[in-house]
Amino acid sequence: MTDLRRLRETERWLAWIRVGGVGFAIFQVAVAGYYPKGYERLAWITTGIFAVGTLVLLVLSRREWPRRTQVALGACALAFDFAIVSAYILIYNFQLGSPIRQVIFVPLVEAALRYGITGALGLTLASAPVIAVFEWLRQRRFPPHTYHVNYVTLQIGLEAMMALIVGWLFVRLRREGNIAETRAAEAERLRDQLGRRADVLEAANRCARALSSSLELEQAFDAFIREVRGLVPFDRVAIVLSEEGTAQVMAVAGAGAGRVLPPGSARPTRGTLLEELLRTNRAVYRRDMQHAEYPEEEEFLALGLRSRLATPLLQGARTVGMLSLVRREADAFSTEEIELTGLLGRLVASAVQNIRAYEAERRTVEELRRLSALRADFVSLVSHELRTPMAAVIGSARTLQQRWRELTATQRESFLDLIAGETGRLATLIGDVLDTSRIEAGTFSFRFGDVDLGDLVRDSVATAELSSDEVQVRAEVRDPLPSVRGDHERLRQVLMNLIDNAIKYSPAGDDVEVRAYAEDGRVRIDVIDRGPGIAREDQRLIFEKFGRVTTGNARPGTGLGLFIARSIAEAHGGTLEVSSALDQGSTFTLDLPVQS
């Protein structure tokens, strides 16, 4: 309750008590019986004034006065009551032994009610002359006409004690009242605050649900932005992720959404507000973009936007992007909104983390599935690759054993050739499998020395030429080639694998070319064929373990050759790449560093 309201209520209550007092006074004056001459008139005049004053005060107390007038009215009312009571006390001095003096306690309590202890003590002081005069009148009227000072002091002393006790009571009461009111107001404020918090939490919850509604970042962000509108109003909002030096706009809504930095667009992070966020990991509040500090702000100003709140998307202590809210008015964000946006930033960041983790997981699962399929292919392939030459070897050996005498020398020779060829294939296959497992175990060993790649190329081509009748292999070595530090045998293995593949995939009558040359401090060897080529999407696969292209012109093989070849090239600090397209032939390039 406000102080003014309390004053008004007190005044009205006292006005009604006064009305009761008038009735009581009329009764007392009327029944007093004996009056000395003139006293009855005085009593009735006083009562008349009392009645009129009471009426005036009753009317005045019902009006809504401003505070100052209300205070003055209270003071006047107390003065009036005191004057009336004093008049009655002095008039009724003629009644011997009357308790009329006690009437003074009424304005005393009133003063305590209005002004506490000070008021009550003040009234005690003011009543002292009245009590003194009353005692004087009394001693004049009644024998033995002695002035009893102690009567006066007793009365005043009683009044003072009463003032202290009642005044204290009222002071206490008022203090308690104030405390209760403050507490009630505080409780109300807290309740409102709690209500607001609950609303905010509910909305934040909806935002979180929106973010988890999809496992696609863009969809999740769009749903989130729809919910944010109800929580922190904006004229434009954007979610931007930082990806390798670029600011990737993931979702945008509001002013200029389709024109200025639309979803899917990317810009270098350098110089932008995002760069600042990435550096400080703290929100940036641009109260007014009037003096554009970041390049993108010019565009926002052109859209009529003035204030911008950018909060980092924090994953732990690392910023992965930002949530940016923009408004048309300058300095338009409150502290609460800034805090809330910080919370939203964290929600978005954890959604980004979850969705990315899920994507990584999904990729891993796909990769594992692919690898397991490759392995299954390999098992059936190896068993097939082993069984065919094995069957040929066993068949030839049996024939030779059973029909040795019937066979001519040439026939025996060709059976023995077949056995040698097939066991050679078996040995290569087993060698590849062994090499692969050594590469994986990290025990693949090299014997490094100086290697003359020119010689190596010429040598490998000559060997290949010998075993290939249908495809011509030519070597073109641009001498002088600097020598390379490497393992001669392993490099030969690489070259042979590339040349064998080129022959294997070339149609009969075609040429395979092997070029060796030095360039930019490196030696390059190109193995070029005009075979079926390799589709772009398969070019990664063929270098993987067991990686083979099984569609189209598939030839027997294990898919290990290129995996081993690339591993060897990398162990030499070099690379092995392919450049090819379907029906365009293939060029495999072995690139090795020249020793310094």
- Residue 531 interacts with ligand ADP (CB under 6 A): yes or no: yes
Nearer to ligand ADP (CB atom), residue 323 or residue 542: 542
The contacts of residue 464 (CB under 8 Å, 6+ apart) are: 473, 496, 499, 500, 503, 512
- For the CB of residue 552, give the shortest distance to ligand ADP in the complex, in Å: 8
Which candidate, 267, 303, 285, places its Cα nearest to that of 341? 285
249-257, 277-285, 436-444, 558-566 -> range binding ligand ADP (CB under 6 A): 558-566
When asked if residue 389 is in the footprint of ligand ADP (CB under 6 A), the reply is no
CB closer to ligand ADP, 396 vs 506: 506
Residue 431: CB minimum distance to ligand ADP, A: 12
Report d(CA 357, CA 378) in Å as an integer.
31
For ligand ADP, the closer of residues 307 and 497 by Cβ is 497
Which of 138, 286, 548, 572 contacts ligand ADP by CB under 6 A?
Answer: 548
Q: Which stretch binds ligand ADP (CB under 6 A): 67-75, 336-344, 495-503, 516-524?
A: 495-503
Contact 458, 477 (CB under 8 A): yes
Residue 345 interacting with ligand ADP (CB under 6 A):
no
- Residue 2's region, left for phi above 0, alpha for psi from -120 to 50, else beta, is beta
224 binding ligand ADP? (CB under 6 A)? no
529 makes contact with ligand ADP (CB under 6 A): yes
Return all residues near 523 (Cβ < 8 A) that are at least 6 apart.
453, 481, 482, 484, 516, 517, 591, 592, 594
549 lies in the site for ligand ADP, by CB under 6 A: yes
Within 10 A of 209 (CB to CB), how many other CB atoms are there? 12
Q: Is 528 near ligand ADP (CB under 6 A)?
A: no
Residues 6 or more apart whose Cβ sits within 8 Å of residue 349: 312, 313, 314, 315, 320, 321
Q: Closer CB to ligand ADP, residue 54 or residue 493?
A: 493
Measured from the CB atom, the residue of 239 and 429 that comes closer to ligand ADP is 429
Q: How far is the CB of 303 from ligand ADP (least distance, A)?
A: 54
By beta-carbon proximity to ligand ADP, the closer residue of 140 and 555 is: 555
| Min CB(464)–ligand ADP separation in Å | 13
Residue 559 interacts with ligand ADP (CB under 6 A)? yes
Given 111, 502, 568, 569, the residue binding ligand ADP (CB under 6 A): 502
| 475 DSSP β-pair partners | 514
Q: Which two tokens stand for residue 507?
A: 């149609």
* DSSP state at residue 473: E
Select 486 or 533, whichever has its Cβ closest to ligand ADP: 533
Asked if residue 586 binds ligand ADP (CB under 6 A), the reply is: yes
Name the amino acid, one letter, at 177: G
The secondary structure element, H or E, covering residue 240 is: strand 236-243
Provide the mask over 281-300, with x wherever binding to ligand ADP is found by CB under 6 A and - wherever it is not: --------------------
R_g of the chain, CA atoms, integer Å? 55
What is the smallest separation between the CB atom of 504 and ligand ADP, expressed in angstroms?
7
332 binds ligand ADP (CB under 6 A): no
User: In angstroms, rounded to a whole number, what is the distance separating the alpha carbons of residues 414 and 412?
Assistant: 6
Q: Is 436 in the site for ligand ADP (CB under 6 A)?
A: no
Going by C-alpha positions, the residue among 509, 516, 530 that lies closest to residue 590 is 516
Burial of 504 (0-12, 13-18, 19+ CB in 10 A): middle
Instruction: Identify the residue among 542, 568, 569, 590 touching ligand ADP (CB under 6 A).
Output: 542
What distance in Å separates the CA atoms of residue 56 and residue 77, rounded to the nearest whole number? 10
From candidates 261, 310, 562, 569, binder to ligand ADP by CB under 6 A: 562
Least distance in Å: CB of 446 to ligand ADP? 20
Strands 484-486, 246-254: pairing is: unpaired
Residue-by-residue DSSP string for 60-74:
HHTS---HHHHHHHH
Decide whether 110 or 432 has the Cβ nearer to ligand ADP: 432
Q: Is 311 in the site for ligand ADP (CB under 6 A)?
A: no
DSSP 591: E
Of the pair 202, 470, the CB lying nearest ligand ADP is at 470
How many other CB atoms are found less than 10 A from the CB of residue 506?
A: 22
With beta carbons less than 8 A apart as the criterion, state whether 154 and 104 touch.
no
Q: Which of 110, 351, 505, 591 binds ligand ADP (CB under 6 A)?
A: 505
Among 263, 342, 421, 557, binds ligand ADP (CB under 6 A): 557
Q: How far is the CB of 587 from ligand ADP (least distance, A)?
A: 9
Residues lying near ligand ADP in the complex (CB under 6 A): 497, 501-502, 505, 529, 531-532, 534, 542, 547-549, 557-563, 586
